[in-house]
Chains A and B, each alone.
Chain A
Amino acid sequence: IAGITQAPTSQILAAGRRMTLRCTQDMRHNAMYWYRQDLGLGLRLIHYSNTAGTTGKGEVPDGYSVSRANTDDFPLTLASAVPSQTSVYFCASRGSSGGSGGYTFGSGTRLTVV
């Protein structure tokens, strides 16, 4: 693993099913984030974690949950998928504490809910 890895790359999911998107980083970054990207809406924050053991809600958290049991992993779970959750999901991490330092993004997961 080099950097930040997301899995799966893409997924077609039946509505009502449960799905976990995986995100792992090997940079020992404290902060991790989940964004969804929809055309014309940019990147919208779903959930975040400033450090292992803590999580917080972003601007579009409904229907999603996260956990941060350790520094490296930050999975995103859709408990019961709906078509409006069709999107491209990006995980990101940031190493600097305090107000500086850019994000490193994963390669994304394209999710289609049918």
Chain B
Amino acid sequence: GENVEQHPSTLSVQEGDSAVIKCTYSDSASNYFPWYKQELGKRPQLIIDIRSNVGEKKDQRIAVTLNKTAKHFSLHITETQPEDSAVYFCAALGGDDYKLSFGAGTTVTVRA
């Protein structure tokens, strides 16, 4: 099955700086890569996603890039704000089944 690795496990940034989280996946047939944000005690919420026919996608201060050849994808948050503090999960959807495999998560702390 799909194996997703996520780095770093924790990330502390100064408010206004950028944050980058990187993920790799193992199944070359995977074709959908969502990112979820989970605030303390809450459910994971989809924040952005990218499909395998696109290399980059941006939504205001967040962007995701995908390198299919290298089998890795990244989340970029620019101009970080305190409300960006949360756990972020990457995920990959396998080509033949419809199950998401998640990375272990990155705890992002934005220092004021």
Do chains A and B interact in one complex?
yes
Point out residues on A near B: beta carbons under 8 Å: 31, 33, 35, 40-45, 48, 50, 58-59, 90, 94, 97-103, 105-108
A48 and B99 in contact (CB under 8 A), knowing A90-B43, A100-B51?
Answer: yes
Task: Pick the contact of B44: A58, A90, A98, A99 (CB < 8 A).
Answer: A90
Shortest A43–chain B CB gap in Å is: 4
Is there contact, CB below 8 Å, between B99 and A42? no
Is there contact, CB below 8 Å, between B102 and A99? no
A50 to B94, CA, bound (A): 14
The 24 listed contacts between A and B (C-beta, < 8 Å) are A31-B98, A41-B104, A42-B6, A42-B105, A43-B44, A43-B102, A44-B102, A45-B100, A45-B101, A48-B99, A50-B98, A58-B99, A94-B98, A99-B31, A100-B32, A100-B93, A102-B34, A102-B46, A102-B49, A103-B44, A103-B46, A105-B44, A106-B43, A108-B43
Interface of chain A: mostly helix, strand, loop or mixed: loop
A59 to B1, CA, bound (A): 9
Shortest A111–chain B CB gap in Å is: 15
Q: Which chain B positions have C-beta within 8 A of A48?
A: 98-99
Is there contact, CB below 8 Å, between A98 and B89? no
- Pick the 8 closest A-B CB pairs, nearest first: A42-B104, A102-B46, A105-B43, A43-B102, A99-B31, A42-B102, A102-B34, A42-B105
Q: Does B95 belong to the interface (CB within 8 Å)?
A: yes
A107 to B38, CA, bound (A): 11
Besides A44-B102, A97-B98, A99-B95, 6 more A-B contacts (Cβ < 8 Å) are A40-B105, A42-B102, A43-B44, A45-B99, A48-B99, A102-B49
Shortest A68–chain B CB gap in Å is: 14
A107 to B44, CA, bound (A): 9
